[in-house]
Each structure stands twice: as structure tokens, then as C-alpha cells.
Structure 1
Amino acid sequence: MRINYRQSSFCSTGACVQVAVLDNGDVSLRDSKDLSVAPHTYTPQEWVAFTAGVKNGEFDLVPGALLDR
């Protein structure tokens, strides 16, 4: 089975997460910088809940959050 991963058109570096829908409907998520690491797999329901949260702004960073690292 060949898995066709996609990444966001907003990824300008090529070092981004990639996503694929598997034959059973699950969603596979991997880091394009290190393909030796096993991808995370989510059920369709988990993926829908996550993307709905993203679209709703639930995971937006607060100003300066990246600077605190």
C-alpha cells in the first residue's frame, strides 16, 4: 500500500508536518524532517475534532509564546 502524504501550501521550508488518509479512513501524521520516526495515527473522529479546534482558534499561540522557549 502506497501512502500519499501531503503538506500545507503554507510550508515554505519543506520541513513541515505531512498528513495522509489511510485506506481504513484513519489519518497519519508525520514529521518530514525525520521520516525514520513512526507517524502518529488518528481516527477520523479524532482528526475532525482536532481540525475543528484549529479552525476555531483553540490552539492559537498567545503573543510571545514562541519567544519563551
Structure 2
Amino acid sequence: MDLIGATWRKSTRSGSGGGNCVEVADNLPGIVGVRDSKDLTGPALTFAPSAWRAFVARVAERA
């Protein structure tokens, strides 16, 4: 999956200490990318936007 042009963002709840954070890129058509914020050149996971929305909704239910 080509993530060239992805605009990555970190959660506003992430601290500045560089802990265990992920970054999400949701500006590409048809995919949402997720990567480790400590390994910017490492692998990234991709999800269909509907799958990502379902994941986020489920996490929010448990927060």
C-alpha cells in the first residue's frame, strides 16, 4: 500500500515525553494508515475507513 502523501498526526492526548504513541493518516482516499510514532520509517498498518471508524468507536466505548 502506497502511503506517499500521507499526513500523519498524533493524538492530542499523547504527551510530549515520546511514550507509546501511534500516528494516524486519514487524508488518503480509501485507506487509513497507522504507524508507531517512535519508528517513522518502520512498517505501517492500513485499514478501510469503515474498519477504522468501528475500531475508534469501540475504543471510545471502553474509555
Bigger-Rg structure (1/2): 1
Higher strand share: 2
Unaligned runs of 5+ in 1: 61-69
Q: Percent identity?
A: 38
Unaligned runs of 5+ in 2: none
Q: What TM-score does the superposition give when structure 2 sets the normalisation length?
A: 0.76
Pairwise CA distance, 1:48: 1.1
Between the two structures, name the one with larger relative contact order (CA 8 Å, sep ≥ 6): 2
Give the root-mean-square deviation of aligned CA atoms.
1.7
Superposed CA deviations along residues 16-62 of structure 1, whole A, max 9, x for unmatched, are: 200011422311000011123211000011101101101111xx6xx
Tell me how many residue pairs correspond in the alignment: 58
Structure 1 residue 14 corresponds to structure 2 residue 18: yes
Q: What TM-score does the superposition give when structure 1 sets the normalisation length?
A: 0.70
